[in-house]
Copies of this chain bind each other. A is one copy, B any other.
Amino acid sequence: MDITGFINNGEQTPDLDTLVDPAPAEALRLINLRKSTHVLLIYGDMVASYEGRAKSQLEDLMPRLVISKPDGTFMVHESNKEKPRLWNPPPSNLYASVNLGVLTLRSVRVSPREVVVVDIPVIRFVGAVRLGVTSNYRVFGTEEDLVNAITNNPSIVEDGLQVIAREYHTIVGDIDILGRDPRGNLVVIECKRSQAGPEAVNQLKRYVEHLSQKEGKNVRGILVAPSISSAAYHYLRHYGLEFRRVEPKSLA
């Protein structure tokens, strides 16, 4: 027993461990050793099931890839698609065990209660890799960037427009930008970073209706987006709403 509390006798935990065609007990050992610090990659023939908010099963024994992250992310990937076939989102807990030579992984999420169970009778590979996390991550070209650009320069939408508020809270939701036009009309502005559809029109209509009832006067509504679908445009015009085309990229 090491009085310093270090089990590994001063040896550094490696960033990478790999096992090819391991015995189940070997795989189990590595998984339990690294599951809270490393991302685990487990490849083999497996069946899996999920039950929680919904329910589904992968009954055919087939080569698949399990990825488990220290934050509890648990995914069963197949040969196509970006999304895992089965998964548990973080935070979940991983429990591994071996019974009759079969490695079983159970990922358990507490709230809502969701369980993914994977049985792996044939383990082809287990890897443990230590990954980083990017801080100060930033995406450019979001809806927020669009709102900022309009706030800084309202004439992008309309000459003489004054911005009264951003993220204006109402009982029916938050209005991206509330403004006033030169003639004194309230203007509700809804921004979309990509093509607007019927839902976006509906959202704008909801805000305009609410404000117009509350204020007891006419309120304009402008949908700002790089484009709008044909059906959505007809719908928008039918309710007297307006569309203003703005390319988010032109504002970078």
A residues neighboring B (CB under 8 Å): 15-16, 18, 20, 39, 41, 43, 53-56, 58, 60, 62-65, 67, 69-71, 73, 75, 77-82, 84-85, 87, 89-90, 124-125, 127, 129-134, 137-142, 171-173, 193-194, 198-199, 202-203, 205-206, 231, 234-235, 252
Interface centre among A20, A64, A80, A171 (most CB of B within 10 A): A80
A67 to B131, CA, bound (A): 13
Q: Across the interface, which residues of B come within 8 angstroms of A60, CB to CB?
A: 132, 134
Known: A15-B124, A134-B58. A79 touches B69 (CB 8 A): yes
**In the complex with contacts A62-B134, A79-B71, A56-B139 CB distance below 8 A:** yes
Q: Known contacts A39-B79, A79-B133; is A55 also within 8 Å of B235 by CB?
A: no
Instruction: Give the number of copies in the complex.
Output: 2
Could you list 23 examples of A-B contacts with CB < 8 Å? A15-B63, A16-B124, A16-B125, A18-B18, A18-B125, A54-B141, A55-B140, A56-B139, A62-B134, A63-B131, A67-B67, A70-B80, A71-B80, A75-B82, A79-B130, A79-B131, A82-B84, A82-B87, A82-B90, A125-B129, A173-B198, A198-B206, A199-B203
Which single member of B15, B82, B131 contacts A78 (CB below 8 Å)?
B131
- Nearest-neighbour CB distance to chain B for A139, whole angstroms, equals 5
How close is A203's CB to chain B, nearest CB, in angstroms? 7
- Shortest CB-to-CB span from A206 to chain B, Å, is 5
